Amino acid sequence: MPDLVLDYANCLSDRIGDEGLDPAHLEASLSAVAEHGEELDAMRAAGETAYRDLPFDPARSAHTKAIRRLVDDCAGTYDTLIVLGIGGSALGNIALQNALNPVTYNLLPDGIRPGPRLFVVDNVDPMLLGDILDFAETVDPGLSRTLVNVISKSGETAETAAQFITMRDVLINSLGDNAHRNIIAITDPSRGTMRSIVDAEGYRNLPVPDGVGGRFSVLSPVGLFSAAMCGIDIEALLDGAASMDAPCSRRDMTSNPAAMLAFLLIEFTKRGKPNHVLMPYCNALYSLADWYRQIWAESLGKQVDRQGNEVFAGATPIKALGTTDQHSQVQLYREGPNDKVIGFVDVRKLPRDLTIPTGLDVENLKYLQGVSFTTLLAAEKRATEYALVESKRPNFTITFPTLDAYYVGQFIALWEIATSYAGLMLNINAYDQPAVELGKQATFGLMGRPGYEEFNTKVADTLGPSDRVIPRNG
Amino acid sequence: MPDLVLDYANCLSDRIGDEGLDPAHLEASLSAVAEHGEELDAMRAAGETAYRDLPFDPARSAHTKAIRRLVDDCAGTYDTLIVLGIGGSALGNIALQNALNPVTYNLLPDGIRPGPRLFVVDNVDPMLLGDILDFAETVDPGLSRTLVNVISKSGETAETAAQFITMRDVLINSLGDNAHRNIIAITDPSRGTMRSIVDAEGYRNLPVPDGVGGRFSVLSPVGLFSAAMCGIDIEALLDGAASMDAPCSRRDMTSNPAAMLAFLLIEFTKRGKPNHVLMPYCNALYSLADWYRQIWAESLGKQVDRQGNEVFAGATPIKALGTTDQHSQVQLYREGPNDKVIGFVDVRKLPRDLTIPTGLDVENLKYLQGVSFTTLLAAEKRATEYALVESKRPNFTITFPTLDAYYVGQFIALWEIATSYAGLMLNINAYDQPAVELGKQATFGLMGRPGYEEFNTKVADTLGPSDRVIPRNG
């Protein structure tokens, strides 16, 4: 089976002049990158990158068997699946669904749809949850055919906890003593607040594996259960991810797509191009750009390096969509500050095509008639690539041979491992998120949670009343 | 009626130290901004900012009457509305729909839904159009209750033309001689390729007004027709936009929200913070961030200034969503490079709230119980604001008194006029998009359109075959 292809010719100085990387510099960096490979292997052996083991046994079989058992158990029982989670407990789920099921999935009638309708509620916006709840109650007044899947390692994430407490209550009001049967939890297998609730209430459950951080967890039960419920081939996803392991372990960067991707992006970051656009030419892949936004931003955005020196490292991931954003962002990408690297994603052969019919007798539009949509899409992408090169803007392309679960698995593994390389290249810890803590504590303070009172005062002291307001009486 | 409120206290040095703007500098800039106001007035008088007249008569009455007539004409006739457009002919339509109708709108049964299902097809991805077409044909096999709304000023935009030729053919195959009745065009009222087609085929149609560029056209028939079809109060939208005109015309920047917004963002751009995040704490407002991405990127991203000097001006608009992106981007926003300004958007009183119920006997989660979702959402936003200020990251907040069409209209006018100010502050032409041309010509060349053959060669010469590929045989 062919692999994803990374073409980075448009990053080099022979294409884009001084704005590009000198091929000699690339040569000269080979040994350093090989050393990062050694270090990654050592980290893996020490269990510090447990995400890499997810596509392999024993983790893989344990997870897929448990998931399969639950999915079989649920077969034919539910028309609506509501996932409660946020960040790494939602972005992967959304990305898999949008990549591998039609955009009209939720609209398809029962029976045609390969699984329950899927809603991923990744916010505490009451209109979002309220509208979804209204809809669920309209199509399923007793909620007996509505399944809630709460995903939280600790159970303490405020947003997920708030959604969970609300949905649990709604189910109890509808289903009484049977409510627990309509909740499936994905949480820590042995400890934490959600674990206690699961044990006390008797929910069916799946594990968030040890040592796998939220943003690296999509190929665990966190991302795979909802995918499997909606008919996605999770074995193919894992096969694809597994197949990227050996290429991304090669010591020679010129044959290791993860090392090359990381090297290019971190080199450009150091040279004043810290804005990293991911721009699929395929609507289905657009949500994968949101998943990428998290893994790239949260892993690499770090104030201190591994020795504790202040570095304010990081790169800003930006999502864009081709051709759509040719009519929105490309003007800026070509003529604005040269501070970006554009990462195209395209698909060589989409599972479906349409031909633009002939028969409209308008001279100016004859050139489109009888041509396929994929031909036009490919021409638009190539034209944009050309226009960026003309403006000396670095860009690369990741090509999917086709759009299926196997290649989505490859894409996920590619970026996960690239993130690990990038962390070493920046000399930062890519696996923590210390800056998120202060906001959580301040939220607790503002919400009156015992033990966090000091933050209430701190927030008031820092933000105070503002007189910098328009209108002033607003 | 209260207005949108802009609070910019967290942009100033008394809050965030040297990373912020000195209030004295703000004082010192008042006269320059007042001069930009004079210039804007002169431009308006010369008809160079025709978008500003859209909420006022005679344009307003002419448009709303024509729209109302068509909407009445369509009442009860269509269950599905498919909009064909891209860029400024799609982003505003999507933003209005998502802001003002429930996230489940398309799922609601006929009769409960206040208008037809809405699909905005803003790409030439065959899976996107194919899936939507399949769905339309499933629920409406003869397509007699499916309305296509094609939006293109010239009719020559390749993506929209391709979709249109395809959908026109599908309708002819289903409806024969009546197909033209199921197409409504929004196009140039007097010239162009689409105008000729409209006249030849007898479509009902609405005008793209003269002098209003695509990204400034949402409050014209371009954005308003699909909104009105879906039950959105377009008079309230226009009332809101009209109400921002006087405040945004004030000479005193400290009482002019558009001038202040532009001044802050352009000052920060000049000081190494050219990344401008718009982060609504409200799912419904998230698509407005896509609309903002276009107007900010395409208007300000310019290689040359008004005197023709190379400046590579511009700022990179970035969309984010609270609270969701607290678990994805805020780590980077706090600890990464200090190159961003974060623009929060919140809603004082959402039209709907939910209360987190009591009754889950878990000590750690007691603090959430009995509290409303909007209280939690507000606490999360304030905590994030606090955390950013602690990290000396500039941020501001635009507050909607509530979420309705009036304030969405205010928000749109605010950013449109801010864009005009920002263009003057950067001394660039904010109303053209010269860099988009090359990609269009190259697409024509690659598609074999007569007259563009040279671009086929140019693309091949520039991009050539690549040997920078992993895997090499890929």
Q: Do A373 and B124 touch (CB under 8 A)?
A: yes
Q: Do A283 and B127 touch (CB under 8 A)?
A: yes
For A22-27, what is the mean pLDDT? 96
Is A319 one of the annotated active-site residues of the chain? no
pLDDT on residue A466: 87
Chain A partners within 8 Å of B442 (Cβ): 382-383, 386-387
Q: How close B231 gets to chain A, by Cα (Å)?
A: 17
Residue A1: band (very low, low, confident or very high) from pLDDT cuts 50, 70, 90: confident
CA R_g for chain B: 24
Q: How close A315 gets to chain B, by Cα (Å)?
A: 7
* C-alpha to C-alpha distance for A26 and A166, rounded to whole angstroms: 54
Percent of chain A with pLDDT over 70: 100
Q: Do A376 and B329 touch (CB under 8 A)?
A: no
pLDDT on residue A472: 87
Q: Give residue for tokens 């008004």.
A: B306
Chain B partners within 8 Å of A118 (Cβ): none
ipTM above 0.90 for this complex: yes
- Give the nearest partner residue to B326 out of A169, A439, A468, using CB atoms: A439
* C-alpha to C-alpha distance for B236 and B439, rounded to whole angstroms: 38
Residue of B nearest to A431 (CA): B331
Q: Do A373 and B303 touch (CB under 8 A)?
A: no
Residue A185: band (very low, low, confident or very high) from pLDDT cuts 50, 70, 90: very high
- Give the least confident one: A83-92, A154-163, A264-273, A461-470: A461-470
End-to-end CA distance of chain A: 62
Buried residues in B341-374 as b, exposed as e (16+ CB within 10 A): bbbbbbbeebebebebbeebebeebebbbebbbb
Q: Residue A404 pLDDT more than 60?
A: yes
Q: What is the per-residue pLDDT across A426-446, written as a single tens digit (0 to 9) for each?
A: 999 999 999 999 999 999 999
- Give the nearest partner residue to A369 out of B165, B284, B389, using CB atoms: B165
Other residues' Cβ atoms within 10 Å of the Cβ of residue B331: 27
3-state secondary structure chain A: CCCCEEECHHHEHHHHHHHCECHHHHHHCHHHHHHHHHHHHHHHHCCCCHHHHCCCCCHHHHHHHHHHHHHHHHCCCCCEEEEECCHHHCHHHHHHHHHHCCCCHHHCCECCECCCEEEEECCCCHHHHHHHHHHHHHHCCCCCCEEEEEECCCCCCHHHHHHHHHHHHHHHHHHHHHHHHHEEEEECCCCCHHHHHHHHHCCEEEECCCCCCHHHCCCCHHHHHHHHHCCCCHHHHHHHHHHCCCHHHCCCHHHCHHHHHHHHHHHHHHCCCCEEEEEECCHHHHHHHHHHHHHHHHHHCEEECCCCCEEEECCEEEECCCCHHHHCCHHHHHHCCCCEEEEEEEEEECCCCCECCCCCCCHHHHHHCCCEHHHHHHHHHHHHHHHHHHCCCCEEEEEEEECCHHHHHHHHHHHHHHHHHHHHHHCCCCCCCCCHHHHHHHHHHHCCCCCCHHHHHHHHHHHCCCCCEECCCC
Looking at the complex, does the CB of residue B460 fall below 8 Å from at least one CB of chain A?
no
Contact between A80 and A147 under an 8 Å Cβ cutoff? The reply is yes
Chain A partners within 8 Å of B351 (Cβ): 127
Mean pLDDT in chain A? 97
Beta-carbon contacts of A199 under 8 Å, excluding residues fewer than 6 positions away, are none
Q: Do A459 and B254 touch (CB under 8 A)?
A: no
Contact between A265 and A342 under an 8 Å Cβ cutoff? The reply is no
Contact between A167 and A82 under an 8 Å Cβ cutoff? The reply is yes
Give domain limits for chain B.
Answer: 5-44+245-426, 56-235
Q: Residue A474 pLDDT more than 60?
A: no
CATH class as words, domain A56-235: alpha beta
Chain A partners within 8 Å of B385 (Cβ): 463
Report how many Cβ contacts below 8 Å link chain A to chain B. Answer: 507
Is A440 one of the annotated active-site residues of the chain? yes
Chain A partners within 8 Å of B130 (Cβ): 352, 354
Q: Do domains B5-44+245-426 and B56-235 have the same CATH topology?
A: yes
Chain A partners within 8 Å of B418 (Cβ): none
Q: How close B65 gets to chain A, by Cα (Å)?
A: 30
Q: State the architecture of A5-44+245-426 in CATH terms.
A: 3-Layer(aba) Sandwich (3.40)
Q: How close B47 gets to chain A, by Cα (Å)?
A: 24
What is the DSSP-derived secondary structure letter of residue B106? G
Could you say which residues from 103 to 122 on chain B have a Cβ atom under 8 Å away from some Cβ of chain A?
Answer: 103-104, 106-109, 112, 122
- Give the nearest partner residue to A438 out of B5, B332, B390, using CB atoms: B390
pLDDT in tens, chain B (474 residues): 789 999 999 999 999 999 999 999 999 999 999 999 999 999 999 999 999 999 999 999 999 999 999 999 999 999 999 999 999 999 999 999 999 999 999 999 988 999 999 999 999 999 999 999 999 999 999 999 999 999 999 999 999 999 999 999 999 999 999 999 999 999 999 999 999 999 999 999 999 999 999 999 999 999 999 999 999 999 999 999 999 999 999 999 999 999 999 999 999 999 999 999 999 999 999 999 999 999 999 999 999 999 999 999 999 999 999 999 999 999 999 999 999 999 999 999 999 999 999 999 999 999 999 999 999 999 999 999 999 999 999 999 999 999 999 999 999 999 999 999 999 999 999 999 999 999 999 999 999 999 999 999 999 999 988 889 999 875
Is A458 one of the annotated active-site residues of the chain? no
Any alpha helices (H) in B75-152, and if so which ranges?
91-100, 126-139
Q: Do A327 and B436 touch (CB under 8 A)?
A: yes
Could you say which residues from 54 to 93 on chain A have a Cβ atom under 8 Å away from some Cβ of chain B?
Answer: 86-88, 90-91
Contact between B370 and B303 under an 8 Å Cβ cutoff? The reply is no
Half-sphere exposure of residue B4: CA atoms within 13 angstroms, side-chain side: 32
Q: Do B331 and A122 touch (CB under 8 A)?
A: no
Q: What is the per-residue pLDDT across A357-385, written as a single tens digit (0 to 9) for each?
A: 999 999 999 999 999 999 999 999 999 99
End-to-end CA distance of chain B: 62
pLDDT on residue B474: 54
Chain A partners within 8 Å of B403 (Cβ): 127
Of A180, A392, A440, A458, which residue is the catalytic one?
Answer: A440
